[in-house]
Amino acid sequence: MSTSFAEENYLKIIYRLSEGHDDDISTNAVAELTQTKAASVTDMLRKLAEKGWVHYQKYQGVRLSPEGEKIALGIVRKHRLWEVFLVEKMGFNWDEVHEIAEQLEHIESDSLIEKLDAFLEYPKTDPHGDPIPTKNGVMPELGYLHLSDIKAGKRCVLMGVAKDSAVFLQLLTKMQLSLGSALYVQEVNAFDRSISVSIDNAPAAFISHEVAKNILVKLA
């Protein structure tokens, strides 16, 4: 069964909202992310339920069915592979690729995506450090930590970002932060939980708690 552009975006959004917990997603949360009225969201959710891709009950919320989750993971896979292609092969910066990948993720051809995967030599993560689901629909667990949870005196390596908005990525670039940056947390400030961090052995810089929360690391 083929899916429309709009249906795919809904499945992707419900997937994103469900990550990390088992609760049903409220219609309002979906409406907020799709920027549509709750009434049109309800119509779409009913349609998706008819196709068997979600379980939906008015007033209770929505949840992906196994079939819907498979479709959502397929879209995420395409999105992230295209982001790798755009950065590695086309020379885009990491803050420029998300919007383009939003268009490319809807290309239907499975054989194109499998060839793309091989051409890129089977990358495990996208340019933002996010895991790329396998073609069998398995999302790899990377187990990264948030920089905001790292204690003073610890060294770690920047592995990914929890937010891939262009303004956030541009801020990181301005702070000389990129995937693979070596970080040393010198101090966690009790007042606002901002941290002083030396980046690649440069003199320490301040990073706000809000920024640190969205930086994913592994201990070195």
Interface ranges with Zn ion (CB under 5 A): 98, 164
Least distance in Å: CB of 129 to Zn ion? 11
Of 75 and 185, nearer to Zn ion (C-beta) is 75
- Which candidate, 60, 53, 57, places its Cα nearest to that of 13? 53
Return the residue nearest Zn ion (CB atom).
98
Compute the distance between CA of residue 48 and CA of residue 59 in angstroms, rounded to an integer.
16
Which residue(s) pair with 197 in the sheet?
Answer: 185, 205
Nearest alpha-carbon partner for 202 in 176, 172, 178: 176
Helix axes 27-34, 38-50, angle to 10 degrees: 110
Least separation in angstroms between residue 164's CB and Zn ion is 5
Contact 163, 130 (CB under 8 A): no
Pick between residue 78 and residue 98 the one whose CB is nearest to Zn ion: 98
Among residues 14 and 197, whose Cβ is nearest to Zn ion?
14
Closest approach of Zn ion to the CB of residue 52, in Å: 27
Q: Smaller CB distance to Zn ion: residue 41 or 101? A: 101
**Closest to 24 (Cα-Cα) out of 53, 66, 51, 64:** 64
CB of 40 to Zn ion, least distance (A): 25
Q: How far is the CB of 35 from Zn ion (least distance, A)?
A: 18
Q: Report d(CA 53, CA 10) in Å as an integer.
A: 11
Beta-sheet strand order (sheet of 182-188): 145-146, 215-219, 155-161, 182-188, 195-199, 205-207
- CB nearer Zn ion, residue 58 or residue 89: 89
Residue 77 or 98 having the CB closest to Zn ion: 98
Q: Smallest gap, in angstroms, from Cβ of residue 38 to Zn ion?
A: 26
Please answer whether residues 125 and 160 qualify as being in contact, where contact means their C-beta atoms are separated by less than 8 angstroms.
Answer: yes
